[in-house]
Structure 1
Amino acid sequence: MIKVLIADDQELIRESLKVVLDSKTNIEVTGTVANGQEVIQSIRESAPDIILMDIRMPKMDGVQCTRIVKEFNPVIKIIILTTFDDDEFVFDALKYGASGYLLKGVSMDELVASIETVYSGRAMINPEIATKVVRIFSQMAKGEQAIQVEERLVGELTKAEWKIVREIGKGASNKEIAETLYLSEGTVRNYLSIILNKLQLRDRTQLAIWVVQSHEFKNQQQG
């Protein structure tokens, strides 16, 4: 059973989503809330598997709420729901750990499929938004926010670690990397921690940006 919390400042949307999702045999709606502060309170009482998070809410918006939720309980997955496809929101929500980003115009079947996709450990991004995300990361890789790593640090990566880096470059999740390389998710997390430490990078986002711009990575792909 997939436990879902619905967060939206419009009561009509909250209740409509609840009715639809409650009709599914594999989904249970744990609650409906109107803002980010209520989300934080709700997950303390009953941790859902997934939060459907509106991006524009009073008191605390969906982006800041995503950051706090992922710090409080990183296991909870978040799908951002919005009528806005603003670049800043797209990047920040994903940067803070959102697993999905859907426009509110999607059909209920698409929404349910997205919930199931994210629950399985994969990411779900609207096609309209996917191209925007790629462009944002590409711009970051080429611009002032490009990530630099010393060549001597890159040389410390082992062949096994490069396999992980290759998958990060493809946008794979830990679960997908584990399945591809026949490893446990725990082993993948350990590898990722070692790689970040070796390259002196702060987080997975910095690693992903470096991968996009890295000549060393391109050479490894060809090797």
Structure 2
Amino acid sequence: MIKVLIADDQELIRQSLQIVLNSKQDIEVSDVAANGQEVIQCIRKNKPDIILMDIRMPKMDGVQCTKIIKENYPQIKIIILTTFDDDEYVFNALKYGASGYLLKGVSMDELSDAIRTVYSGRAMINPDIAAKVLRLFSQMAQTNYTIPVEEKDIRQLTKTEWRIIAQVEKGASNKEIADTLSLSEGTIRNYLSTILNKLNLRDRTQLAIWAVQTNAHKNMTEE
């Protein structure tokens, strides 16, 4: 059973999400919260697997809350619920380790699938904001925000791993990477896990930002 905490300052949205998600056999809403401070309090009592995090909330917004949670409870996965005009918020949520980014208004089936995807350790980005997220990656690459990776760890990467990193840099999904490299999705997932371990990175988001910053596609062609 996947335990989900819903964080949104609108009571109607909290109640609606709770009713729908509780109807799924493999999902249970463990708590609801109206702001970031309540989220922290809920976590201390009953740690969820996934948090559906509204960005714009009073007292403590979803970005600051994400930062605190990932620093203290890194195993908890966070899906940001966003809108098209939340660029700055999404930018910062990416920095702090959110695993998913969905537009408010997605269907309940899409939301349920996203929860399962993130719970399994993968990232989930709504196709409608994927281009925006890639643009944010590029912005990050040109700012002082950097992902530190040891040179000795980089030297451990194989040619195939560089090819996969280059695809992550482009924003390709596991299926797209598998099709490009003529490998199975399971093999790609295993490679990604190995790459993260080699580079001591937390998740695919950090890998994507690092790939943009280091021009992974250029490194691959120089191999």
Residue 182 of structure 2 corresponds to none
Contact 1:8 1:54 in 2 (8 A): yes
Residue 192 of structure 1 corresponds to 199
Contact 2:196 2:207 in 1 (8 A): no
Tell me the secondary structure at the aligned position of residue 101 of structure 2.
Answer: strand
2: CA distance, partners of 1:57 / 1:79: 15
Residue 198 of structure 1 corresponds to none
Contact 1:3 1:28 in 2 (8 A): yes
Q: CA RMSD in A?
A: 3.2
Residue 157 of structure 1 corresponds to 155
State the 1:205 CA deviation: 6.1
Contact 1:54 1:81 in 2 (8 A): yes
Aligned length: 204
Which structure is larger by alpha-carbon Rg, 1 or 2? 1
State the 1:171 CA deviation: 2.6
1: CA distance, partners of 2:135 / 2:40: 32
1: CA distance, partners of 2:104 / 2:154: 45
2: CA distance, partners of 1:5 / 1:148: 29
When normalised by structure 2's length, the TM-score is 0.77
Tell me the secondary structure at the aligned position of residue 56 of structure 1.
Answer: coil
State the 1:90 CA deviation: 1.7
1: CA distance, partners of 2:3 / 2:37: 19
**Matching of residue 58 in structure 1 with residue 58 in structure 2:** yes
Unaligned runs of 5+ in 2: 175-184
- 1:87–1:213 Cα change, 3 Å: farther
Contact 1:146 1:213 in 2 (8 A): no
The 5 Å alignment of 1:9-24 reads: 9-24=9-24
Q: Percent identity?
A: 58
**Matching of residue 49 in structure 1 with residue 56 in structure 2:** no
Tell me the secondary structure at the aligned position of residue 48 of structure 1.
Answer: coil
148, 166, 170: which one aligns with 1:169: 166
Tell me the secondary structure at the aligned position of residue 24 of structure 1.
Answer: coil
2: CA distance, partners of 1:33 / 1:123: 23
Contact 1:146 1:209 in 2 (8 A): no
When normalised by structure 1's length, the TM-score is 0.77
AA aligned opposite 1:66: T
Contact 2:162 2:216 in 1 (8 A): no
